[in-house]
Amino acid sequence: MMPITPSRMAAAMLASVMMLAASISASADEIRVTSSNALKPVLEQVAPEFEIATGHKLVFTWGQAEILKGTSFDLAVLTAAVIDRLITQGRLIGGTRTAVAISAAGLAIRKGTVKPDISTVESFKHTLLNASSISFGEQGGTGAYLMALFRRLGIADALAGKIRRLRPEQGPVQAVADGEAEIALTQISEILPFAGAELVGPLPSEVQLTTTYVAAIGAGTSRAEVAAALIKFVTAHLQSQRPRSRRLRQR
């Protein structure tokens, strides 16, 4: 008998989720999803398969800005703090709250350049001070954490003139890949897909930001069944990945 391994269990779960998804409503709808950029690589990877299985079209909005402005979505996949706030406000259904993944932050450089030392807090601090330019998303949870970290390390003023303002369509890693910033600070899952950028490593453990990402279905949506299937689809996909090859860990 073939042994039952975690990877085989995950593959079986993914197959069962696909069967469930395929059985949902034959009428094609647009499913509106707002998600943190950290989940973008995963969602863009699973979207075509989910769309083929269900006949529904996934329409993504990246970041939390639109939902915080009041825009309604069928599904939100954001940081736990933001999801919980929206549940308290009645914007999302608390009973559908599902922890999806855990991610750590890292530092990226343009591919082919010399990797700086960020193995300790002091070397990480030295790398930031020596950088000519730094990019990170100022609007999300990672950006807020980094600004507070810079103040805690006593380098906020020294870095103020080095921070590159990003275009709306441009992420921090894209800025590095394009040569517009020397280093990028963001979730590791956002760094790995870029061919023109390279992960130096995670932030030192003493200053690491570990973020839990949570999914919840929008209150009042008529597509709750499809949104629930998408949550299961994403979690099954993450569980099926080899732990050493992924930078988003299933919660």
Region 231-250: mean pLDDT is 69
Region 222-244: mean pLDDT is 84
Block residue for tokens 């990672």: 142
Block residue for tokens 């629930």: 228
Instruction: Tell the CATH superfamily of the 103-207 domain.
Output: Periplasmic binding protein-like II (3.40.190.10)
Confidence tier at 241 by pLDDT (50, 70, 90): low
Q: Does residue 54 contact residue 24 with C-beta atoms inside 8 Å?
A: yes
CATH architecture for residues 6-102+213-250: 3-Layer(aba) Sandwich (3.40)
Residue 202: beta bridge partners? 106
Nearest to 60 by CA among 80, 82, 81, 76: 76
User: Residue 116, by phi and psi: left (phi above 0), alpha (psi -120 to 50) or beta?
Assistant: beta
* Amino acid identity for residue 97 in this structure: R
Tell me the pairing of strands 210-217 and 134-135. Answer: unpaired
pLDDT per residue as tens digits for the range 14-69: 455 555 555 555 566 899 999 988 888 889 989 999 999 889 999 999 888 899 99
pLDDT per residue as tens digits for the range 101-143: 998 999 999 999 999 999 999 999 999 999 999 999 877 778 8
pLDDT per residue as tens digits for the range 177-229: 999 999 999 989 889 888 899 999 999 999 999 989 999 999 999 999 999 99
Confidence tier at 163 by pLDDT (50, 70, 90): very high
Query: Distance between CA atoms of 136 and 229, rounded to whole angstroms?
Result: 32
The whole-number pLDDT of residue 2 equals 37
Nearest to 40 by CA among 23, 70, 9, 64: 64
Report the run of H or E that residue 54 belongs to, with start and end: helix 40-54
The domains of the chain are located at 6-102+213-250, 103-207
Whether 5 has a pLDDT exceeding 70, the answer reads no
pTM for this entry: 0.74
